[in-house]
Amino acid sequence: MERLQAKRKKAVLIDVDYIVREGRALVRLLMKGKRFFRLYDAYEPYFYCDAPESAEKEIMGLKVAGKDRQISPTRCERVLMNVLGQEKRIWKVYCQLPSDVPHLSSAMHYPCYEHNIPFGKRYMIDKELAPFMQLTYEREGRFIKRILRKREAAVSLKTMAFDIETYNPVGMPRPDKDEIILISYKVGSQQAKVLSSRKIARDFVVACKDERQMIEKFLEAVRENDVEVLFGYNDTVFDLPYLKARADSNGLVFAIGRDGKPFRIRKHGIRDVAEIAGRIHIDLYPVVRFMGLIGAFKISKYSLENAYEELTGKRKLMVGKLDIWRMWDGDAKMMAELADYSRFDAVATMEIGEMLLPMQIEMSRVARLPLFDTANATAGQLVESILMHKSRQEGRIIPNKPDDTLASQRELGPIKGAFVKIPQPGIYENLVVFDFRGLYPSIITSHNIDPYTIDPPPSVPDSDCYLCPNGHRFRKKPRGLIPSVLEEIIKMRAEMKARLKTLEKDSPEYEMVFARQQSLKILANSYYGYLAYPRSRWYSRECGESVTAWGRYFIQDTIDKAEKAGFTVLYGDTDSIFLLLRGRDGGLKTKQDALEFMRRINQELPGDMELELEGFYPRGVFVTKKVGAAGSEETGAKKKYALIGEDGRIKIRGFELVRRDWSNIAKQAQRKVLEAILKDGSKEKAVRVVKEIISLLKEGKAPLEDLIIYTQIRKDPKKYDVTSPELSAAKKAIAAGMRIERGSMIGYVITKSGGSISEKAQLAELARDYDAQYYIEKQVLPAVLKILKELGYSENDLKFKGEQKGLDSFF
């Protein structure tokens, strides 16, 4: 056969996996040129074995019974590696197939390493590849012969967002019985379309003869638009499985993948993920949830409408879920309104996707993890990917994942946490807040904290070590893997932030650089958690304890120095200190005094550590919390305060309005009270706000949507022993034919019907009235009393009983 001539090409790497053909493993690279395409590369699977040089014959003679053949190593070689901190020669054992690796390594009588790394990831690590790299390569046919050059490249991906509406006359739709009535989708910047099995008077509606044709046209749109990224919102749980179930009912293959096959559901930690061959499927729900949990943005609940409002500042068109079937069965106007709603779901999903995609792409680049995996990853998995790539570059063995037994042992006994100076409750004026910039990351890099630099032999003198307050020692040299990687991330982020100042805000380059620095911030803040995570490959309890010990030392030392400098320290927590611009002797401090104090502290801090000005605040409120037996005592509450900045913006921490398990009316009351106190300096306005809301509730005029309490059902409703309000509401919904299961997010209202609070709880869609007294006593008053108590008001004052006391001492 004539040998194919090698051709030189360029394309962007998107993802890597593998297939087995004719008894050998072929790595499969998903590339993007004008469109997505596949390339192949033959690559040998392997693992490492820490056996003596004399063990070669034993290794090569190993035979393990496989499913359909006998498994043996194909070859082995002696290599020099850094094994868990020590340089030594070990065996690199090659296998025929990736599936042979776990069989052979588990049969060895010697320690084995790197036997549980997915083969696609193995290839990317060894070839030093990252997603969204432009590769210049030579190929013969569809096989890569040589990678000549690698560089980062800008990438434009063809996106599509979709959503479905189903006929739901008994509540939660049943995929075996209830048809899909509308499928909405939006491709890139094109107008959103709605596929319908009926004619509807909207120009964006495409009328189909039946449900089968709707599904066919949806799949046709995916194919014809050559969709590369498919956005959904919680579609792994609902939309995709429902579409497939209805396709099956209609005798269709739900051919959404480039291979003409349906999606594949697989386990990813505790969650299911839906993979689509040749396309990047991004379920935005776990992305939004992850970003919310790590503090990338503030979000109280994770529904599509709430995510859309909180991320874009716009409100989504809404209809009641239980009204959908009625609108479908209604007149032409109602069907048109339902089509508007369906279309908006696709538009909202696309807008959220377009907002989050740049950051996800940059996170993918930095973590060297394919975009699909990045969108479904935890912070620990992102950190681990970076460490695995860096380990290979430095010739270090990647530690094994712990098994369940070892992980359970590691979980015993919590690591001692941060230092907290509890604030005295009250309302204060003229505060300054300082933060340690990236406290835990800077402690790690400044003290070379790493599992393989900790506690060197006694022969290493203290002068060559960093001495931790808890007694551990860390070698100053050589540099540990974790601090070196973290240092690179911190340096890269500083460069990105500096670069941002030189760019036009609306330019594509600004968007990319901003997304990169945000992703670097998220990653930098995840390294301490990863060190202390029991299932981490680089777990070290001693390192985790040392990080928090140094954290406690530096915050306490800074508090001591602030007091010696004449400041009143109101509050200190983990990495922040709150000072009053008023000395303990009553004398006043200036802003310049505060900045000079910060400068002096920074002169004394080691390495990368730095104290930063977070801001000056004209006024702040700190509240009490109940402690002791049955809440018999009160003290100041940590992480529960509100401040107003010099720009008029209110900063809120720990109050109910940032939690989803409080009703909107309670949150509104709390926010308005805080605004009255902090912005207007008016205690009278604060009380007036509460009394107006109480009157609104008593008169039955409060909107039902402001009374919904959201919560998540964390296990099967049938397995709960105690009947709580949310469980009672869930059971009533199930009895009405709705599907409520583990993980479902539900909203309920406390109604007038029933004896106990649990009996009164009703799913929001089914509620017709509300118990005013419950919302006054259990929602509004608890949300505001801790604040107003600092003004001398009692519960009776707000209920129009009794008189205020001690008002003159505050303003």
- DSSP code string of 552-608: HHHHHHHHHHHHHTT-EEEEEETTEEEEESB-TTS-B--HHHHHHHHHHHHHHS-TT
Average pLDDT for 378-382: 90
Lowest-confidence range among 125-139, 512-526, 653-667, 743-757? 653-667
* HSE (side-chain half, CA atoms, 13 Å) at 107: 18
Q: Round to whole Å and give the CA distance between 469 and 719.
A: 47
Cβ atoms of 548 and 415 within 8 Å: the answer is: yes
In the structure, what pLDDT confidence band is assigned to residue 4 with cuts at 50, 70 and 90? Answer: low
In the structure, what pLDDT confidence band is assigned to residue 718 with cuts at 50, 70 and 90? Answer: low
Sign of CA dihedral 228, 233, 236, 242: negative
pLDDT at 81 over 90: yes
DSSP designation for 804: -
**Structure-derived torsion over alpha carbons of residues 478, 482, 485, 490, reported in degrees to the nearest 10:** -110
Average pLDDT for 577-606: 89
What pLDDT does residue 746 have?
A: 73
What pLDDT does residue 636 have?
A: 47
Cβ atoms of 15 and 372 within 8 Å: the answer is: yes
Average pLDDT for 164-178: 82
Residue 720 in tokens: 């709960």
Cβ atoms of 66 and 87 within 8 Å: the answer is: no
In the structure, what pLDDT confidence band is assigned to residue 662 with cuts at 50, 70 and 90? Answer: confident
Average pLDDT for 628-634: 43
Q: How many CB atoms lie within 10 A of CB 86?
A: 9
Cβ atoms of 228 and 157 within 8 Å: the answer is: yes
Give the burial class of 679: count Cβ atoms within 10 A of its Cβ; 0-12 exposed, 13-18 middle, 19 or more buried: middle
The residues near 95 (Cβ < 8 Å, ≥ 6 apart) are 44, 45, 46, 47, 71, 73, 74, 101, 104
Lowest-confidence range among 240-244, 405-409, 548-552? 405-409
Which amino acid belongs to residue 17? Answer: D
Where do we find the tokens 């919302």? Answer: 775
Where do we find the tokens 């959904």? Answer: 232
What pLDDT does residue 805 have?
A: 39
Give the burial class of 356: count Cβ atoms within 10 A of its Cβ; 0-12 exposed, 13-18 middle, 19 or more buried: buried
Cβ atoms of 179 and 211 within 8 Å: the answer is: yes
Q: How many CB atoms lie within 10 A of CB 224?
A: 10
Q: C-alpha angle 213/217/218, rounded to 5°?
A: 120
CA distances from 240 to 243, 348, 560, 678 (A): 5, 18, 58, 48
What pLDDT does residue 1 have?
A: 40
Q: Round to whole Å and give the CA distance between 58 and 137.
A: 40
Which of 361, 344, 338 has the alpha carbon at shortest distance from 309? 344
pLDDT at 476 over 80: yes
Cβ atoms of 532 and 544 within 8 Å: the answer is: yes
How close are the terminal C-alpha atoms of the chain, in Å? 93
Average pLDDT for 488-507: 88
Lowest-confidence range among 483-487, 493-497, 650-654? 650-654
In the structure, what pLDDT confidence band is assigned to residue 769 with cuts at 50, 70 and 90? Answer: very high
Q: Round to whole Å and give the CA distance between 198 and 209.
A: 7
What pLDDT does residue 540 have?
A: 94
Q: Round to whole Å and give the CA distance between 582 and 568.
A: 6
Cβ atoms of 424 and 570 within 8 Å: the answer is: yes
pLDDT at 587 over 70: yes
Which amino acid belongs to residue 273? Answer: V
Note the maximum CA span of the chain: 100
Q: How many CB atoms lie within 10 A of CB 424?
A: 11
Residues facing residue 711 across a β-bridge: 746
Q: Round to whole Å and give the CA distance between 785 and 441.
A: 38
**Percent of the chain whose pLDDT exceeds 90:** 59
Average pLDDT for 283-310: 82
Q: Round to whole Å and give the CA distance between 263 and 305.
A: 26
pLDDT at 323 over 70: yes
In the structure, what pLDDT confidence band is assigned to residue 504 with cuts at 50, 70 and 90? Answer: confident
Average pLDDT for 599-604: 96
Q: Round to whole Å and give the CA distance between 434 and 594.
A: 9
Residue 316 in tokens: 């989504």
The residues near 524 (Cβ < 8 Å, ≥ 6 apart) are 438, 441, 486, 489, 490, 493
Q: Round to whole Å and give the CA distance between 717 and 740.
A: 8
pLDDT at 781 over 70: yes
Which amino acid belongs to residue 472? Answer: H
Residues facing residue 182 across a β-bridge: 165, 196
What pLDDT does residue 174 have?
A: 81
Q: Round to whole Å and give the CA distance between 402 and 393.
A: 23
> What average pLDDT does the chain have?
87
Lowest-confidence range among 206-215, 225-234, 633-642, 758-767? 633-642
What pLDDT does residue 602 have?
A: 96
In the structure, what pLDDT confidence band is assigned to residue 449 with cuts at 50, 70 and 90? Answer: very high
pLDDT at 468 over 70: yes
Cβ atoms of 526 and 383 within 8 Å: the answer is: yes
Residues facing residue 656 across a β-bridge: none
pLDDT at 585 over 70: no
pLDDT at 584 over 80: no
Give the burial class of 461: count Cβ atoms within 10 A of its Cβ; 0-12 exposed, 13-18 middle, 19 or more buried: exposed
Q: Round to whole Å and give the CA distance between 479 and 448.
A: 6
DSSP designation for 464: G
> 782-799, pLDDT tens digit by residue?
888 878 876 677 767 666
Residue 247 in tokens: 């396709």
pLDDT at 304 over 90: no
